[in-house]
Structure 1
Amino acid sequence: MASHRRPKQPSRARVAVLTGAAATAVALTAQVAAHAAPAQPNKDEVKAQVDKLLEEQEQAAEKYNGAKERADQLHKQADQLQDQVARGQAQLTELAAGLSAVAADEYRQGGVDASMQLMLSSDPDAYLARASSLEQAAGTQADTLRALKEQQRRLDQQKQEAAAVLAELDRSTQTLNDAKNDVQHKLQEAQTQLNKLSVADRNAILRGTDAGGTASRSSARVDPSTLPAAAGYAATAVRVALDQQGDPYKWGSGGPDTFDCSGLMVYAYAKAGVSLPRTSQEQATVGTSVGSDWHNAQPGDLVIYFGDRHHVGMYIGNGLVVHAPHTGDVVKTMKVDTLPISTIRRM
């Protein structure tokens, strides 16, 4: 006859022991996982983040360049106005002193009624001559007074202009500092991301190469003799820009040994005797428009990139531009259509 006895249940003590052992095993597993080597970050994801941060950094750098250019202009203007105010104040003081001297002399000479002085005078001819001089003195006093009022008006206007310029300078300086802080913040963020990678991968991202060191963008030093000839001062600008190949990128720099993108253009064209504005956005408005099709470009043309026009390179022919890419890279060439073209300008 089959047994119907219930299976024996584990004692409560045994259950407690098993549960404690399981918990210990889970805890040990967690500790091992916590002390295990961190997973290698995905290089492509890091590269995408760094590229975005460096693009934002360059946008902030061009804003900094514009603010610095404006601040420099305002500094010069404020100095000139303050010099004018100082000179005006000196002229005002001189006119006031002259007016005081004339008034004092008239008071001393005019204490007696003119007709009585004539009657009492032993020498009427001498008195009449002196009276004529007093009349001229009164005229001089009136002229001096008018000049004094006009000088005061000019001085007040100059003071107002100087105050307005100094107030704008304060605002421009704040914009300058904000842009500088933004640049540094973006660079710190990018460096934090890069520090997650190996040195080789880090350099590959910054220099635009793959892990094997092959250039992902055209970056080999270009021999100018292999390029089509440029015309006029553009030829000098192209030669100077190409001479800077290998020089480090540095935001806010316009040479002679480090450059940002717009600074390289300013430097190269300055050597050709052509003055360019400091930012890529301003450079996108000078010269003659060639449209946005690079096939119409000639050596020396400025190629402005992105919708907000925060990057610029110089077309050198053979479908290439020379440019200063971003922090961690150097002045080099790339294919002209690597980045989205906004406009092309011919100087």
Structure 2
Amino acid sequence: MASHRRPSQPGFTHGARITVLSAAAATAAAAFGAAPPASAEPHETAEEARAKVDRLYEEAEKATERFNKAEERVERLRERVTQAQDRVARGQEAVNRMRTALGSLAGAQYRSGGMDPSLALLLSEDPDGYLDKAVTLDRITERQATALSDLREAQRRIGQERAEAGRDLAELEQGRRTVARHKRVVEGKLAEAQRLLNALSARERAVYDEGRASRSGRGDSLPEASGPGPASARAAAAVAAARSAVGRPYVWGANGPSSFDCSGLMQWSYAQAGVGLPRTSQAQRYAGRRVPLSQARPGDLVTYRSDASHVGMYMGNGQVVHAPYPGASVRYDPVGMMPIASVTRV
């Protein structure tokens, strides 16, 4: 028996329309800054959400150090490109001057030697004067040959500089894309962490904040002085700078003076002491001499995790100062707050 069901209408089904509208709403919410649901898992507990936030912060910090490394490389490439372009410009000016000088020499040669030398000597009424002129002509010819050789060498150097500048420019553009990619990764992880935090109730958020505080034993007050002091005057100056930064906010990718990420705080603090540190915690790990934790002194850099993706400055009495994570400020924490990778004396 033939079916008399009404054929489906072209277009979206009811379910599909709901799906599309939901997607559109989520897109619009993202575009205008509204926070979508914090988790794709509706039965996720508050404790699981808090653990996920901690993991996202750790992943974001690692991505931040990759961003810092890429940005540092971009800055070096930018300087190299600028210097190469300056050298090319100066070289071109030198080539232009050489061409002008060659033109003058060619004119002098033409005026002095426009006739076969033997015929000119035969017809000359003053052979001695002509011979003197011929010597001058030889000198002009020799100078012309030298100038021509110098010109060719200068043109060769300019060609090399232009080629190197072109390669550096291409590498710079690639570096900029790398920086942008790392930036998107960091921002994505931080945004996800913030959505999870926003989904917690006020009580759950307070428990989370208290839990972080108790785990770290954090504080904003200066640790009591005990044990040996800084190993050098520059370490003492860096310690003073780091202390002055306590209370300033963590901002990823920042290196002072009003906000910092972890390696940015170390770089800025030592810059106040006249010491240039690399930008990333991984590179700062090798910026001096390794010492055992038992011999740590104020001003030493303490890197954490096996990949050295976090860094703080030892302040004495078992404390470090560091920029911990988004939403927190520069503060003191126990040196053993997380697994230690190395202690470096700058």
Cα deviation code 1:229-275 (max 9, x no counterpart): 33422222222212222111001111111110001111111222222
Find the aligned partners of 1:312 and 1:328 in 2 and give their Cα distance: 18
Equivalence for 2:5: none
After superposition, residues 300-315 of structure 1 pair within 5 angstroms as 300-315=299-314
Cα deviation, residue 100, structure 1 = 2.7
Cα deviation code 1:68-113 (max 9, x no counterpart): 1111111111111100001111111221222233223323443322
Contact 1:78 1:162 in 2 (8 A): yes
Give the secondary-structure state (helix, strand or coil) at the position aligned to 1:314: strand
The percentage of aligned residue pairs carrying the same residue is 43
1:230 aligned onto 2:237: no
Amino acid at match of 1:337: G
Taking structure 2 as the reference length, the TM-score comes to 0.82
Deviates more, 1:280-289 or 1:116-125: 116-125
Amino acid at match of 1:299: P
Cα deviation, residue 224, structure 1 = 5.1
Equivalence for 1:271: 272
Equivalence for 1:93: 96
Contact 1:41 1:196 in 2 (8 A): no
Equivalence for 2:289: 288
1:57 aligned onto 2:60: yes
Find the aligned partners of 2:177 and 2:213 in 1 and give their Cα distance: 43
Contact 1:222 1:242 in 2 (8 A): no
Find the aligned partners of 2:199 and 2:69 in 1 and give their Cα distance: 34
Q: 2:105 aligned to 102, 107, 119, which one?
A: 102
Taking structure 1 as the reference length, the TM-score comes to 0.82
Cα deviation, residue 60, structure 1 = 0.9
Give the secondary-structure state (helix, strand or coil) at the position aligned to 2:215: coil
Contact 2:223 2:316 in 1 (8 A): no
Give the secondary-structure state (helix, strand or coil) at the position aligned to 1:316: strand
Contact 1:276 1:283 in 2 (8 A): yes
Cα deviation, residue 307, structure 1 = 1.1
Contact 1:227 1:317 in 2 (8 A): yes
Give the secondary-structure state (helix, strand or coil) at the position aligned to 2:278: coil
Unaligned runs of 5+ in 2: 1-40
Cα deviation, residue 343, structure 1 = 0.9
Amino acid at match of 1:230: P
Equivalence for 1:259: 260
Equivalence for 2:77: 74
* 1:295–1:141 Cα change, 3 Å: same
1:118 aligned onto 2:121: yes
Amino acid at match of 1:282: A
Unaligned runs of 5+ in 1: 1-37
| Aligned residues: CA RMSD | 2.1
Amino acid at match of 2:265: L
Deviates more, 1:319-328 or 1:191-200: 191-200
Find the aligned partners of 1:98 and 1:258 in 2 and give their Cα distance: 57
Amino acid at match of 2:335: V
Equivalence for 1:334: 333
Cα deviation code 1:210-229 (max 9, x no counterpart): 4xx96432222223554543
Find the aligned partners of 1:88 and 1:246 in 2 and give their Cα distance: 51
Equivalence for 1:167: 170
